[in-house]
Each structure stands twice: as C-alpha cells, then as structure tokens.
Amino acid sequence: MSIRVRAQESNGVVNIRALMSHDMLVPDDDGGPHFIETVEIARNGDTVLTAHWNYTVSRNPFVQTEIDGSAGDTVSVSWTDTEGESDSTEVEVG
C-alpha cells in the first residue's frame, strides 16, 4: 500500500493530488467488495475535506482538489477501507 501526494501552492491556493494504491474490489471480484470508503485530507492537522466513496471509484484512486494554504504547511492524506485497513501519509506544501 502507498499513497503518493503532491501539494503545490500558488497565490494562497494549494493544489493537492493524491494517488492511492488500492484494488477497490467490486462485489463480483474475488474477495470483494473491498474498497476505500473514507479519505480525509487535512492541513496542519485540521480536516479540510472528507471523501466517502463507493466501489464505483476506479482502482488505484486518484483525487485532486484545492484548499487554502501556504508553502510550508503540512498536508496529510489518510484512507480507511471496508476491511478496516488504512494508510496515511503527509507532505510539506511546496
């Protein structure tokens, strides 16, 4: 499992791109359904965006969004799936 995050600031707006490695198994798959159902994006520890997903989000989910912020802020991305597995990572805004 891994999460790759890029957070780049321009004019007070931080563009965040996150790519999560997860098979996002649908009900017809072996072992499915098994998918990321909650993703949280936080800036300096405060949650800014909460995503709730269905298994109809594509495999190895990608999300891009924008938040207020500055270079040097910390952006964290964490997910939890339907089996209780989770992953988290944080980056400094560039």
Partner 1 sequence: MISTKRRVFLKGTLAAGTVGVAVGAGLLAPSKLLASWPSEAFEAEGLEAAMEAVTGSSDIEDGDVTLSAPEIAENGAVVPVSIESSLDDVTEIALFTENNALPLNAHYVLGDGAHANISGRIRMGESSNVIAAVKSGDTWYKAVQEVKVTVGGCGG
| Binding stretches for partner 1 (CB under 8 A) | 13, 25-26, 28-29, 32, 37-40, 42-43, 45-59, 61-69, 78-80, 84, 86, 88
Are 86 and 3 spatial neighbours (Cβ–Cβ below 8 Å)?
A: no
In the DSSP assignment, the letter for residue 84 is S
**CB nearer to partner 1: pick between 25 and 91:** 25
Output the smallest distance, CB 71 to partner 1, in A. 15
Output the smallest distance, CB 36 to partner 1, in A. 10
Kindly list the distances between the CA atom of residue 29 and the CA atoms of 2, 51, 79, in Å, as whole numbers in the listed order.
22, 23, 21
